[in-house]
Structure 1
């Protein structure tokens, strides 16, 4: 399965927007999100599912984090 459910720390901004701050990958490692580049409603073609996709910078790499109704997930990298 290419969908990885992750624990996310997020906060609500003054304007009511939900902003992810960090996530814990399936191996238990915590990653801080350096910044959110974009937020849009989108489907995940790799993992399946739809929701709000956050395009984030994490340790110099662009990553996609999805908020799907009441859960967060990411796409597992495949070779």
Structure 2
């Protein structure tokens, strides 16, 4: 379980939320995210890519690229995860986008 400290100093629990992303693939091989779509059907156009991601070293059979993006007035990190093929398990290489999302806490319940 991961935690972040908000601007108000409050600790909040977060999780990875896999999202759909519309991306533009340039002729030079660059990947530029254009729009993020949540599971509930909401979508948010990306107004600006502030920092383009580059895949880092492989860890646990996967690599991550972090994109810093602006959606309206909100800046956030959008991650592209690349998992290598595992022929022994019958899985192909895959690419998945995700963001950190706050866990929902029911009213009247304190976070664990």
TM-score with structure 2 setting the length: 0.57
Q: Which runs of 5+ in 1 are unaligned?
A: 44-48
Query: 1 or 2, which has the higher strand percentage?
Result: 1
Alpha-carbon offset, residue 54 of structure 1 = 0.5
- The counterpart of 2:97, out of the listed 67, 72, 75, is 72
Instruction: Kindly report the root-mean-square deviation, in angstroms, between the aligned alpha carbons of the 2 structures.
Output: 2.4
Q: Which runs of 5+ in 2 are unaligned?
A: 1-13, 57-61, 83-94, 105-112
Q: Which has the larger radius of gyration?
A: 2
In 1, distance between residues paired with 2:39 and 2:78? Answer: 14
Q: Which has the higher contact order (CA 8 A, sep 6+)?
A: 1
TM-score with structure 1 setting the length: 0.79
Alignment size in residue pairs? 74
